[in-house]
Amino acid sequence: MKSEDELDREIRNHLDLEAEERRAAGANDDEARYAARRRFGNIASVKEAVRATRRWARFDTLGQDLRYAVRGLVRTPAFTLTAILSLALGIGANLTVFTLVNALLLRTLPVADPSRLVQVSVTNAGKTRQTFSYPTIRAFATQPTELTGLCGFALGESFEIGEMGSNRKATGTWMTGDCYRVLGVPFAAGRGFAPEDDRPEGGASGLVAVVSNDYWRRELEGREDVIGASIVIEGNTVRVVGVTARGFDGPNVGRTADITMPVSAMLRIRPGGPPILSPGSNWLRLFARLQPDVPREQAAARVNVAWTRIIDEVVDPSGQMGMRGARVILNSGGTGWSELRTQFTRPLLVLVVIVAMVLLLACANLASLLLARASARQREFAVRLAMGAGRARLMRQVLTESFLLATIGGAVAVGFARFSSDALVSALGAGRSRPIALNVQPDGAVLAAALAIVLTTSVLFGLAPAIRGTAIEGSSVLYDSARPNGRRRGRFASILVSVQTALSLVLVVGATLFAQTLRNLTRVEFRISPRRSDAGVGRDSAIGARHGATIGARPGNGRRARRLTRSDGSERFGKLAGEGRRMDSVGDSRRRSGDGRCRRRDHYGWAIVFRRLRHFDARRPGIFSR
């Protein structure tokens, strides 16, 4: 492979030999050199042809294009800064939303072989139930199925650490005894629960608990002797048997569990509570692990056969008829479970569309700038064409500049997305009793998405200027004659302006509506309208009184019961039927003018009241379960 110096020396020797032959034929020196150059042809084209035969010719050419692109961008700092900031905003917004989508919907749990995990649910008469009672799960575990184990877990809990009244809180959850083995959770120290630990009196070590890696480092100071150490939970001494590996916060995505305890330990931790471990109390989500090489459909068929035996064993005879037609469904569980998916999947998909349009608008803006830049560089392109460069090489040069701009903008966007993702998660969790804890650290999927967006955007805003800017005739430009394709380029620029205007209008309208929706969602008040009428007190009054009495019987809800019902049951419910009283859908709808009348009201049907009461969560007084 010849170096550049060797190539230049060989070309000079060839020209000297040719000129010497011309002089021998009687030509003078100037004529001989001119005839030799004319016969040899374009030196730049010959060099390009020789370079193309080299093994690493493409990389050499790419290096030259990159160096030339860097010099060109440095010479125009205003254009470069504008382009990078526009791309950083568009790509950063897309990466921010994709990071949330990845963390909430796509990322698998950090466990062994998450593809074998399934979530168990039951459907009956078109209604799906995802919760099971503790006795049902224990009966399930004894049936012969294609499952290697079952894991029942609760959604969330709050433990009081230390002696009663210490006011030190820790988030937590309850799990069945075989959960950690079924999930395949890695441990930084110690072990998970054993089946014998899931008993009211505990196992051989008494009451046991597993702590998360973050809680171990934050509250237990990363002690190496933490295994076997004792902590006091709700006034009970509990022994730590394991510390999970970093990154695993539980199967409930978006919620952290600092401390996990066996389900049966609830009888010791919360004595005198509701009979939540009874067969009729369905409150545990259920995960299972498939046996190797067993398809999900085959496992579901075997599980449905076992379900009939479980009904006979667990369900009360009076309720068996309604459960006979139920069917067990096994859904993919590798990404865990989260109630946040029901709330935020649709808003996130709307955000995906909005930020994609922002990126398209940024690409259209940048394409316009690059078209103007290509028009200003037409004389440069004409000179390079005259010196032997091909149009494909010029297009590759323009695309290289576009790729360089997109790469720098993407690098800035990754840093922007890292901080904006945390801010967006904090905003979504504002005002909640338990904060949202999503892992928004960039992983391979996020970086792959960033690379794909960079490549796509570089083509979107760079291809049109590369085609239009190099479609010139070198001689006409060099001699300042009329430029061809001027009308076509103007038409294309007009199309770009139209696209920018349309996208801007859609974005403004969509962003306004979306912002109003978010504002409404943050100000929802599930309260009954204070307006009353005198009609419709009959049967609905009794229903209201019964629901009010039920709520009032639960600890801490006396004030809620007094707010919901009078002595005659007509305060909030009894008079709803007559005029179809409604719930306020947004907080600002309760604002009133000076005469006490509502200026604007958005209403729900009064049946929502009873639906909300039906989903009242007894384990979290004062909070509706959904």
- Section 389-400 average pLDDT: 83
Lowest-pLDDT range of 352-366, 374-388, 589-603: 589-603
The alpha carbon torsion through 44, 46, 50, 56 (nearest 10 deg) reads 30
Residues in the chain: 626
129: which strand partners?
A: 122
Report the pLDDT value the prediction gives residue 264, as an integer from 0 to 100.
92
Better pLDDT: 466 or 602: 466
For 179, the token pair is 């959960």
Instruction: State the pLDDT at residue 279.
Output: 84
pLDDT confidence of residue 101:
94
Give per-residue burial for 349-377: e unless 16+ CB within 10 Å, then b. eebeebbebbbbbbbbbbbbebbebbbeb
403 or 432, greater pLDDT: 403
Would you state the pLDDT for residue 582? 37
Give yes or no for residue 581 having a pLDDT over 70: no
Residue of higher predicted confidence among 234 and 622 = 234
Highest mean pLDDT: which range of 119-123, 275-279, 364-368, 583-587: 119-123
Average pLDDT over residues 414-433: 85
Residue 612, Cβ neighbours under 10 Å: how many?
Answer: 15
Mutual angle of helices 4-24 and 43-52, in 10-degree steps:
130
pLDDT-based confidence at residue 551 (cuts at 50, 70, 90): very low
pLDDT at 567 over 60: no
Q: Where are the domains of the chain?
A: 1-41, 77-105+340-522, 114-332, 538-614
Of 553 and 226, which is predicted with more confidence? Answer: 226
Give yes or no for residue 459 having a pLDDT over 70.
yes
Q: Is the pLDDT of residue 462 over 70?
A: yes
Task: Average the pLDDT over each of 213-217, 295-299, 432-436, 597-601 and give the range with the smallest value.
Answer: 597-601
Q: Which helix (H) or strand (E) holds 299?
A: helix 296-314
Average pLDDT over residues 90-114: 94
Instruction: Using the CB atoms, write b or e for 149-167: b if 16+ within 10 Å.
Output: bbbbbbbbbebbbeeeeee
Closest CA to 1 of 53, 63, 58, 60: 53
pLDDT above 50 for 537: no
Looking at residue 165, what is its pLDDT? 63
Please say whether the beta carbons of 328 and 304 come within 8 A: yes
One-letter amino acid at 465 equals P
Which pLDDT belongs to residue 26?
83
Tokens of 205: 């070590």
Task: Quickly tell me which residue has 């309604």 as its tokens.
Answer: 322
Residues 6+ apart with CB under 8 A from 53: none
**pTM as predicted:** 0.70
3-state secondary structure of 419: helix
Per-residue pLDDT, 475: 52
Grade residue 497 by pLDDT with cuts at 50, 70 and 90. Answer: low
pLDDT of 622 > 70? The answer is no
- The two tokens of residue 443 are 């992983």
Q: 570 — phi, psi (to 5°)?
A: -115, 5
pLDDT of residue 568 exceeding 70? no
Per-residue model confidence as pLDDT tens digits over 302-315: 999 998 888 888 87
- Please give, one letter per residue, the 3-state secondary structure of 494-542: HHHHHHHHHHHHHHHHHHHHHHHHHHHHHCCCCCECCCCCCCCCHHHHH
**Is 593 in contact with 571 (CB distance < 8 Å)?**
no
Given a contact cutoff of 8 angstroms between Cβ atoms, the answer to whether 154 and 174 are in contact is yes
Determine the average pLDDT of the residues in 438-455. Answer: 91
468 or 96, which is more confident? 96
pLDDT of 297 > 50? The answer is: yes
Residue 261: per-residue pLDDT: 95
Please report, for residues 4, 436, 458, the alpha-carbon distance to residue 442 in angstroms, rounded to integers and kept in the order given.
44, 18, 22
pLDDT band at residue 100 using 50, 70 and 90 as cut-offs: very high
Q: What is the pLDDT of residue 575?
A: 37
- The pairs formed by 19-23 with CB atoms below 8 angstroms and a separation of 24 or more are none
Q: Residue 294: pLDDT band by 50, 70, 90 thresholds?
A: very high
The total of other beta-carbon atoms located within 10 Å of residue 12's CB is 11
**Predicted confidence (pLDDT) per residue in 508-532, tens digit:** 777 677 677 666 655 555 444 444 3
Radius of gyration of the chain (CA): 36
DSSP 3-state of 168: strand
Q: Which long-range contacts (CB under 8 A, 24 or more apart) does 616-621 make?
A: 616/551, 618/274, 618/554, 619/274, 619/276, 619/283, 620/433, 621/554, 621/555, 621/556, 621/557
The mean pLDDT of the chain is: 77
Phi and psi, residue 133, nearest 5°: -85, 160
Highest mean pLDDT among 39-43, 99-103, 203-207: 99-103
How many other C-beta atoms are found inside a 10 Å radius of the C-beta of residue 315? Answer: 21
Q: Are 266 and 174 in contact (CB under 8 A)?
A: yes
pLDDT band at 235 (very low <50, low <70, confident <90, very high): confident
Can you give the pLDDT at residue 317?
Answer: 57
| β-strand pairing of 236-244 with 208-211 | parallel
Higher pLDDT, 564 or 322: 322
pLDDT for the residue numbered 38:
84
In the chain, the percentage of residues whose pLDDT exceeds 90 is: 34
Tokens linked to 261? 């305890």
Q: Which range among 74-78, 202-206, 614-618 shows the weakest confidence by mean pLDDT?
A: 614-618
Lowest mean pLDDT among 95-104, 125-134, 359-368, 612-621: 612-621
b/e for 574-602, b at 16 or more Cβ within 10 A?
bbbbeeebbbbbbeebbeeeeeeeeeeee
